[in-house]
Structure 1
Amino acid sequence: MNKKPPHFFKSITSLSTFSRVVIFCTVCLLLIVYEKNKNDFRKDEGYRFINLSNNQYYLIKNNLDKSLVDLDLLGSVIESQPNLTRNEFKNYATRIISHTPEIQALEWIPKVTKFNRQKIENEGKKYFSNFNITQKKDKGMLPDIQRSVYYPVYYVEPYVGNECALGFNLDSDPKRSFALHLAEKNKTIIATESIKLVQETDGQRGVLIFNPIFTHEKTASRTQEDQLIGFSLVVLRMGDLVNRALSKNSSTPIFLTIYDVLLLPFF
């Protein structure tokens, strides 16, 4: 027994050819409009995502740039006053950090030879009775071994929260040593790879940025030769830097991960 076609199809078949063409064109037009609106929506969302991403990128970059400016400023102060006292350093560093709170610490890292290690440690003990040039071991911070040259953290501000760093010979750690010697060689600002700070208690990754400081002395041939006297240094906790930057952004948040392309994620 043959079934009768549904009423809808029966109605369609009863339409004229012209009416069928009109319906077909209308359906096609609706599909085209739908696809166009869908593509426009995707483009709008894509542009919105790009704008949000760029906004967050520049907020982070601006915070990092401010830290580099402060590092360079501190370096200029030390270069013009190589015998800067601890209190003078504290005053300069405190003023700098007051408007750049994302900085974990500012430090002065002098070049210390084995011949004046004892003198430096004695000077440090005038302010901190347990001051020593140290290295990091599994058991904690221990007096460093005998070396020809040391690069200890001699001044650090703020001191509170960075106590473990005071006296730490940065040349005793391979990652820090690589960056400081590269900065000396190239006579330019160099950052370490992602590291765990000796003062870190919260699992954040950090980075040290070295700014080499030279004196310009005339040699026997009366040519000027740059002599490294040490480094001004800025310590950054990447989580703090990123969070402070993005706290200025009131737009819709996006998930963000910052990578050192060769190593571990920074944040």
Structure 2
Amino acid sequence: MRLVTQQRALALTDRTSSRLASLQTLRSQIEHSGNLSPAAFKNQAEILLAFFPEIESIEWAPKIKSGSLDSFERRLQQTQAKTTQLTLSDSESSGIAFHLPIEYQHRHKHLPLQHPPGFDLIREAQWRDAIRSAIDRNMITSTRRYLAFAEDHPTDLIRLFLPVFQADTSQNQLRGLLSLELNVKRFIEQATQSNLAQAVPFEVYDNEDHNKIPLYHWPPAEIFSGLDSPLEHKTVVLPFADHEWTLVNVATPAFIQKYQNRLPIWLFVASLLCTIAVYVIVRITQSLAERLHEESNDRCWQLEQSNKALSNKMIEKGTFENALRESQDRLHDFIRISDDYFWELDTNHHFTYVSKQIVQFTGFPPTAMIGSSFLDMLHEEDSNSFRQALEKAIPKKRKIAIELRCKGHHNHWRWEKINVRPMFSTEGHCIGFRGISQDITDTKDELELLPETEPLLANESYGSAQQAINSVADQITSDRRFAQKLENFIHRHKATLDKTREAFFREALPEVAHELAALHEDAAEIGADKISELAGELKESHYKQAHREEQERLIEQLESHLEPMMDNINQSLHRQNPGSAGQKQA
């Protein structure tokens, strides 16, 4: 009998702890949920009702300000509410009062209400004391047992109260009250049903109930008052919220007479079954409590992350919009204050866009130029040159600079310096051209007026381009080994620049690392230090993870130095040995 008593006490204690933990979890969810909607409360309450059949009802009573109690009661009578919920107020006339309007989750929805809307629970002395004790001590408090009638069947019930405070304040500011109604018989039977096979009679008492009437007794047919019984009995005191229950297992004469011969076997079987049942119940209860806690934490975390993500997106959107607006304003200002005019052409060289400064050059407004051919504005000798320059720029995907003669006011020819770059679609197809035109007529006129004897210097060391060619040719004549180096340089690197451009467009610069390294060494041998330096930097740019803009800049600089030098070397070699140079070029 002692083993059965311990097993029953452990089962009741575990079941009590799990129900109180569920109520605490529900309070935590309400404290961190802000304004709890009826639908959200209903979802949480239905979970507890589904898992715990002994719970008859779950109620959430938010606090009502003292000044709005009268208006709340009038509105309640006007709406004639048919569902119930305890609602807390702090009326000075009645202390802590509770009323019955909206969010109430009951297991038996077809049963009539026990109290009409507006019933003042403070009139129940045991409830008033339990409510005040729960708020003062900030803990779960329990009422004593009371009877409720549903369909003419009395039911023993116990009500639990738990205060809910504001989670985001340092002071304990009351937010509302949670209430849970337990079916006493079903609660105790669910905990001890695995031990009923032992056939050991037992009773459960509430120590706060001084009339010594048991909360529950088994077998149901007899009450044997185990607290005062002279028979052999085992007593265990169990905690229940702020109360204490006493479990009494009594060896009645009928039990002794019926089971005295088989008692050891029954005890062994009962202990085994009870151990298994307790283990299963404990595991299920722990898993349910952990699941509820994890779901609550996950939902709170997801909500916080969603709020942060939304806030970041709004900030990013505002930042991007401001940056785009500033860039557009800056571009418009540049276009407005510039003396040059900007334009865009399609693949057939027709205007698709032109800035308003074109009026100063042609005398026609931008709208009149849209759709017209840019080639029609050019001098007949320059038109083909411009077309060929555009065709060469497309595969290289780079800008070109050219000086052309364009038709201006009164059919007068003007010199324009044009910088143009092809435009490409996302698939890599050429869709047109974008360029800037600058009037250089005055500069051209000034150059034509310079005296013929004024020297035109190409750079500081060689003078004009022809002087550079003559200087290289003289060095070739005096040093045949130098001439051989130049011939080898021309032979080895005549395609290096094209391979480098192609690899850059395919984002595969490491493929030409060997050619760039050879160019770096060969250029140093013939004294082309700048070309050697650029080739070395371009080779190392991939390993240093340089931006593509930096790599493109290095390629353009290498091209501006290498191509003129190759032309000068070819002309110098041809001048010294026309037949040999021609054969090598062939």
Secondary structure of the residue aligned to 1:225 is: coil
Aligned residues: 202
Match of 1:266 in 2: 215
Match of 1:238 in 2: 184
**Distance change (3 Å), C-alpha of 1:169 and 1:74:** farther
Instruction: Decide whether the 8 Å contact of 1:110 with 1:229 is kept in 2.
Output: yes
Residue type matched to 1:101 in 2? P
Match of 1:81 in 2: 33
Residue type matched to 2:72 in 1? K
User: How far apart are the structure 2 equivalents of 1:124 and 1:78?
Assistant: 28
Match of 1:163 among 104, 110, 113: 113
Deviations 1:100-153 (A, max 9, x none): 111111111233344323337747976x6346899xxxxxxxxxxx74642235
User: How far apart are the structure 2 equivalents of 1:253 and 1:94?
Assistant: 35
Deviations 1:6-62 (A, max 9, x none): xxxxxxxxxxxxxxxxxxxxxxxxxxxxxxxxxxxxxxxxxxx11112222222222
Post-superposition offset of 1:197: 4.1
- Percent identity over paired residues: 19
Instruction: Decide whether the 8 Å contact of 2:85 with 2:104 is kept in 1.
Output: no
Post-superposition offset of 1:260: 1.5
Post-superposition offset of 1:165: 5.3
2:67 pairs with 1:115: yes
Match of 2:488 in 1: none
User: How far apart are the structure 1 equivalents of 2:123 and 2:95?
Assistant: 12
Which residues in structure 2 correspond to 1:10-49 (within 5 Å)? 49=1
Larger deviation, residues 192-201 vs 227-236: 192-201
Post-superposition offset of 1:238: 0.7
User: How far apart are the structure 2 equivalents of 1:121 and 1:249?
Assistant: 53
Match of 1:205 in 2: 156
Post-superposition offset of 1:207: 1.2
Secondary structure of the residue aligned to 2:99 is: coil
Match of 1:96 among 33, 43, 48: 48
User: How far apart are the structure 1 equivalents of 2:129 and 2:151?
Assistant: 21
| Structure 1, unpaired ranges of 5+ | 1-48, 135-145, 219-223
User: How far apart are the structure 2 equivalents of 1:65 and 1:199?
Assistant: 28
Residue type matched to 2:97 in 1? Y
Structure number, greater radius of gyration: 2
Aligned CA-pair RMSD: 3.1
2:120 pairs with 1:174: no
**Distance change (3 Å), C-alpha of 1:184 and 1:124:** farther
Match of 1:247 among 193, 199, 204: 193
Match of 1:256 in 2: 202
Please, what TM-score do these two structures have when normalized by structure 1? 0.64
2:138 pairs with 1:191: no
User: How far apart are the structure 2 equivalents of 1:76 and 1:234?
Assistant: 15
Instruction: Decide whether the 8 Å contact of 1:179 with 1:192 is kept in 2.
Output: yes
2:13 pairs with 1:61: yes
User: How far apart are the structure 2 equivalents of 1:114 and 1:151?
Assistant: 12
| Structure 2, unpaired ranges of 5+ | 87-92, 217-586
Match of 1:152 among 95, 99, 107: 99
User: How far apart are the structure 2 equivalents of 1:230 and 1:210?
Assistant: 11
Post-superposition offset of 1:211: 1.0
Instruction: Decide whether the 8 Å contact of 1:208 with 1:236 is kept in 2.
Output: yes
Larger deviation, residues 112-121 vs 237-246: 112-121
Residue type matched to 2:47 in 1? R
Secondary structure of the residue aligned to 1:232 is: strand
Instruction: Decide whether the 8 Å contact of 1:215 with 1:227 is kept in 2.
Output: yes
User: How far apart are the structure 1 equivalents of 2:34 and 2:188?
Assistant: 33
Match of 1:105 in 2: 57
